[in-house]
Amino acid sequence: MKEFKKESLLDMFLEQPEQFLSGEEISRRLSISRTAVWKQINKLRQAGYEFEALPRLGYRITDLPMPLEQEKLKTFLQGGMGRELHILSTTPSTQEDARRLAEEGAPEGTVVLAEEQTGGRGRMGKSFFSPYGKGVWMSIILRPSQPLHLVQQLTLLCGVAVQRGIRNMTGLAAGIKWPNDLLINDKKICGILLESKAEDDRVSYCIAGLGISANISKESYPEELQPIATSLKEESGRAVDRNDLILSVLHELEELYKIYNRDGFQPIASLWEASSITLNREVSVQSPAGVTTGKAVGLHPSGALLIEKSDGSHYPVFSGDIRISPVQKG
Amino acid sequence: MKEFKKESLLDMFLEQPEQFLSGEEISRRLSISRTAVWKQINKLRQAGYEFEALPRLGYRITDLPMPLEQEKLKTFLQGGMGRELHILSTTPSTQEDARRLAEEGAPEGTVVLAEEQTGGRGRMGKSFFSPYGKGVWMSIILRPSQPLHLVQQLTLLCGVAVQRGIRNMTGLAAGIKWPNDLLINDKKICGILLESKAEDDRVSYCIAGLGISANISKESYPEELQPIATSLKEESGRAVDRNDLILSVLHELEELYKIYNRDGFQPIASLWEASSITLNREVSVQSPAGVTTGKAVGLHPSGALLIEKSDGSHYPVFSGDIRISPVQKG
C-alpha cells in the first residue's frame, strides 16, 4: 500500500517533469495528509531524487537517481582494476569491507563500491561525508611489490589517477594539494586515504580509499563543510554519471600503476608535479618536532615533499597536514 | 576417575623424582593397561612435564612444567610494556589476538602471551613452531609516533631488546642476523615479526611478535627444524623460567624504546651493530631486481642494511632474506 502510494507520487512528478505540484494537490490526488506528502518526498530524496521546493508553487523534480550499474561496470572492467567488483547499497565503510576481503586473499584490483557509507572514514580518524547515490565511495585493493618505505609513492599515484580520471570525464582540472587532496577553486572535491598493512618492510596489501563528491548539491553538505567542500556537479553545472567517472578513474589508475611498476616513480612524480598546487608556494608543516615553514620545491624520490627553508637547506616532509600560505599579490 | 588416576601417576613420580618406574609397576599399582600408562605419560608431556624413557628401566621424570604466572608478571610490569596483559592457554596466533585488541583501541604496551599457538606465524607466511609451555610466544602492541617509512628501525630495535633480554637472564650471547633473527651457534633461537598498519605515512599501530625457544628439547623439534633451530635450554644446559625471561625482555624493550623516542635511532643502531653477525661478512640478497652480493658494511640511518658492492658503491637493502657466506679461513 505504502509502496503503491510512493510510486504514484513519483509518477505524478515524472508525467510533468518541468512543472511544480503543490502539496495540496498531491495530498488530494493521493488521499494522504500533507505531512505524509512531505515524508514521501524526503524518502525519494534519500533514494537520490532531487526536488526544488518553493513557497506557494510546491515541488518540482530536478534530478533522477543514476544508480551504480553492475553490468555496465563489469563490461568495461576486465582483468585489471575492478577485476573483482563488489557493489553495495549501504555499508559502514568500503575500507573495512576491502580490508576483510584482502585478509581473505582477494586479488590486487578488487574494488568495493557503495551507494552510501554510514561510517565513512577520512584521514586521521575524521569522518567522511558519503551520502546515498551522490558520490564515488570506492576502495581498491593493491598488492605492490615495492617495499613499505616507498608506500608514500602510491599515495601520490592515487591522487594523480583521480585528478586525470576527473579531467578526462568532466574537463575539470583539479589541483593536487600534497599529498593527495584534490581541490577545485580551493574547495575539496576528493579525499584519498591509503591504508597499508606490512610485515617488516614487506607490504601485505594497501587499500586505496577514494571519496569523490560527484553530484552533491551545495545545500546538502553539513554546514561546517559548505565553505570547504564542493562537487563536480556544482563546479561543472551538470550531474555526472558516476559509472563513467568510476571507469575513467580506474582506467587511469590501472595505466599509472603499470607505468609505476615498469618505469618506477619518476614519471608519476612528473605528472604529480604538473597538477600540484603545493609546489612553489610557502607552506608550513606541523610535525612532532614542531612547525617547519619554507617553500615547497619538489618531490623527493621517496615521495616526500621537499621544503626549502630560509637558510637554503632542504627538509623532506613525509606526512602530516600542510598549510599553504595565501598567494602574495606582486 | 580418569583425573584421579592421572594425579596418582604423577604422585608416583614425584615421590621418587630420581628413580625410574617401570611401565609394568605403574600398570600394576594403578590397575590400568600398559597402553593407558603410555597415554597418560604423553598427556603429562603435553602439559609440560618431561620424562626420560629407557628400555628395561622404564620412565623417570626429568622436568616439571613452569607455567606462565599472571600474578608474578603483573607485579613486575607496571605502567610500561605489559601494562595490559593477556595470558592465554592456547590460541591460533597471539599476533591475531593483539591485532584485534589494537583495532579496538588497546594502548601501547599491551602484551598477549600464550602457552601454545596452534597456528603461529613467522615471516613471509611461514608457520612458527610454538609448542605448549616451552617457549615465549608473545605479541606486543606499539603505537610509534615515527612515520611509516622508518618502521624498519623498530624491527631492529626489537631484535636488540630480545638479544639483551636473553643475555641478562641466561648469559647466552645470541648474534643478530639482519634484520632480526637471533642465532646461537648458527641455529635460530628467536624469530621476530613486526606487522604494521598505517594510513598514508602515519603508523596506526605495530604488532611486534616474538617467538623465543626457551625449553624445547632438541628431539621435540620437527625433523626439518632440528638442524637449524635450538633453544635456550639446549644451549645453556638448564631450563629457563619463562616468566623471568619475559620480564627481562620486556624491560629491555621498554628501555630501548624510551631511548629511541628520546634520542632517535643512532644509539639503537650502535647496539645492533655490536651484536650483529651480518656486518663485515659477504652476503647475497634476493630482491625483485635480482640477486645482489657484496659486503655488509653497516646500517643506513633508515634501518636499511648497507652492502658494499665490488665496484665500491653502497646499496641499501630494506627487506628480504639475506644469505651470509661461510667465513673464509685466512
Question: B260: left (phi > 0), else alpha (psi -120 to 50), else beta?
Answer: alpha
CB atoms within 10 A of CB A300: 15
Testing the interface with B: which of A139, A158, A200 to mutate, by most B Cβ within 10 A? A200
CA quadruple B155, B159, B164, B169: dihedral, nearest 10? 120
Chain A residues whose beta carbon lies within 8 Å of the beta carbon of residue B302: 149
Residue A151: strand, helix, or coil: helix
CA distance B118 to B89: 11
Using a pLDDT cut of 90, give the percent of chain A over it: 56
- Give the list of residues 6+ apart from residue A181 with CB closer than 8 angstroms, or none: A159, A188, A190, A191, A192
What is the nearest CA distance from B154 to chain A, expressed in angstroms? 9
The Cα B292–Cα A145 span in angstroms is: 17
B155 touches chain A (CB under 8 A): yes
| B126 close contact with A: CB closer than 8 A | no
Cα(A39)–Cα(A169) distance, rounded to whole angstroms?
36
B244 CA to centre of own chain: 14
Contact A152 B195 (CB under 8 A): no
Averaged pLDDT for residues A248-273:
96
Give the list of residues 6+ apart from residue B196 with CB closer than 8 angstroms, or none: A148, A196, A197, A198, B148, B151, B203, B205, B206, B207
Question: Quick one: pLDDT band at residue A2, thresholds 50, 70, 90?
Answer: very low
B202 and A CB contact within 8 Å = yes
pLDDT of B216 over the 70 cut? yes
Average pLDDT over chain B, rounded to an integer = 89
Give me the residue from B194, B195, B318 closest to A149, CB to CB. B318
B271-307 tens-digit pLDDT: 999 999 999 999 998 766 678 899 999 998 888 899 9
> What pLDDT does residue A323 have?
85
Asked if A319 has any chain B CB less than 8 Å from its own CB, the reply is: yes
| Cβ contact, residue pair A319, B147, below 8 Å | yes
**A-B contacts (CB, under 8 Å):** 83
- Using the beta-carbon criterion (under 8 Å), do B123 and A149 form an inter-chain contact? no
Higher pLDDT among residues B221 and A50, named by residue? B221
What residue of B is the nearest CA neighbor of A288? B145
Q: Indicate the pLDDT class of residue A11, thresholds 50, 70 and 90.
A: confident
Q: Which residues of B touch A318 (CB under 8 A)?
A: 147-149, 201
The stretch A131-154 carries a mean pLDDT of 93
Question: What CA–CA distance (Å, rounded) separates B326 from B12?
Answer: 51
Mean pLDDT score, B58-66: 84
Average pLDDT over residues B166-184: 94
In the prediction, which pLDDT does A189 show? 96
> Which of B148, B192, B201, B206 should we substitute to test contact with A (largest number of A Cβ atoms within 10 Å)?
B201
Q: Does B123 touch chain A (CB under 8 A)?
A: yes
Instruction: Give φ, ψ of B84 to 5 degrees.
Output: -120, 125
Residues A12 and A26 sit within 8 Å (Cβ to Cβ): yes
What's the grid cell of residue A209? 580509499
pLDDT score of A285: 85
- For B297, other C-beta atoms within 10 Å of its C-beta total 13
For chain B, the first-to-last Cα distance in angstroms comes to 68
CA distance A171 to A177: 19
**Residue A323 per-residue DSSP state:** E
Query: Which three-class secondary structure string do you get for chain B?
Result: CHHHHHHHHHHHHHHCCCCCECHHHHHHHHCCCHHHHHHHHHHHHHCCCEEEEECCCEEEEEECCCCCCHHHHHHHCCCCCCCEEEEEEEECCHHHHHHHHHHCCCCCCEEEEEEEECCCECHHHCECCCCCCCEEEEEEEECCCCCHHHHHHHHHHHHHHHHHHHHHHHCCCCEEECCCEEEECCEEEEEEEEEEEEECCEEEEEEEEEEEECCCCHHHCCCCCCCCECCHHHHHCCCCCHHHHHHHHHHHHHHHHHHHHHHCCHHHHHHHHHHECCCCCEEEEEECCEEEEEEEEEECCCCCEEEECCCCCEEEECCCCEEECCCCCC
DSSP A123-143: GGG-B----TTSEEEEEEEE-
Residue A5 scores a pLDDT above 70: no
Q: Average pLDDT in the B222-233 region? A: 92
Average pLDDT over residues A7-31: 85
Reply yes or no on whether the pLDDT at B243 is more than 90.
yes
Beta bridge partners of A198: A203, B196
8 A C-beta contact, residue A151 and residue B198: yes
Inform me whether the pLDDT recorded for B1 exceeds 70: no
Q: Inform me whether the C-beta atom of residue B321 falls under 8 Å from chain A C-beta atoms.
A: no
- What Rg do the C-alpha atoms of chain A give, in angstroms? 22
User: Which chain A residues touch B195 with a CB distance below 8 Å?
Assistant: 197-199
In angstroms, the CA A304 to CA A149 distance is 11
A145 in contact with B, Cβ within 8 Å: yes
Of A123, A193, A202, the CB nearest to B319: A202
Tell me which range, A75-89, B41-55, B61-75, is most confidently predicted by mean pLDDT. A75-89
Share of chain A above pLDDT 70, in %: 95
A200 touches chain B (CB under 8 A): yes
Name which of A123, A150, A200 is nearest B200 (Cβ-Cβ).
A123
Q: Which residue has the higher pLDDT, A9 or B234?
A: B234
Cross-chain residue pair A150–B149, CB shorter than 8 Å: yes
- pLDDT higher than 80, residue A125: no
Contact: A202, B124; criterion CB under 8 Å: yes
pLDDT score at A328: 55
Question: Could you report the per-residue pLDDT of A271-284, keeping only the tens digit for each?
Answer: 999 999 999 999 99
Q: Mark yes or no for CB contact B147/A318 under 8 Å.
A: yes
Closest Cα in chain B to A194: B200
Q: Say what the pLDDT of residue A159 is.
A: 96
Whether A226 shows a pLDDT value over 70: the answer reads yes
* Residue A330: per-residue pLDDT: 43
Chain A: give the shortest CA distance to residue B13, in Å.
Answer: 46
ipTM, 2 dp: 0.76
Q: Which residues of A touch B198 (CB under 8 A)?
A: 151, 195-198
Domains and CATH numbers, chain A: 2-63 (1.10.10.10), 70-275 (3.30.930.10), 282-324 (2.30.30.100)
Residues A99-121 have a mean pLDDT of 95
Interface of B with A in 231-250 (CB under 8 A): none
What's the pLDDT tens digit per position in B98-142? Answer: 999 999 999 999 999 999 999 988 877 788 999 999 999 999 999
Q: Is the pLDDT of residue A303 over 90?
A: no
pLDDT number for residue B52: 87
Whether chain B has a CB inside 8 Å of the CB on A179: the answer is yes
Query: Which pLDDT does position A288 carry in this prediction?
Result: 64
For all residues of chain A together, what is the average pLDDT? 89
Region B205-215 average pLDDT:
96
Q: How confident is the model at residue B330 (pLDDT cuts 50, 70, 90)?
A: very low
Q: Do B200 and A319 touch (CB under 8 A)?
A: yes
Decide which of B305 and A328 is more confident.
B305
Task: Tell me which chain B residues have a C-beta less than 8 angstroms from the C-beta of A319.
Answer: 147-148, 200-202
Residue type for position B126: K
* Phi, psi (rounded to 5 degrees) for B316: -85, 130
8 A C-beta contact, residue B214 and residue B142: no
Interchain contact B289–A (C-beta under 8 A): no
Q: What's residue A15's pLDDT?
A: 83
Q: Which chain A residues touch B148 with a CB distance below 8 Å?
A: 148-149, 151-152, 196, 318-319
Does residue A110 register a pLDDT over 60?
A: yes
Under 8 Å between Cβ of B36 and B73: no
In the block, cell 618506477 appears at A264
Contact B26, B37 (CB under 8 A): yes
* Highest mean pLDDT, choosing among A56-65, A115-124, A189-198: A189-198
Interface test with A, best of B146, B199, B204, B317 (most A CBs within 10 A): B199
- What is the arithmetic mean of pLDDT over A104-110? 96
The average pLDDT across B154-172 equals 96
Specify the pLDDT at position A7.
54
What are the cell numbers at B216?
Answer: 624445547
Confidence at residue A286, expressed as pLDDT on a 0 to 100 scale: 79
Of all residues in chain A, the one with the smallest CA distance to B179 is A200
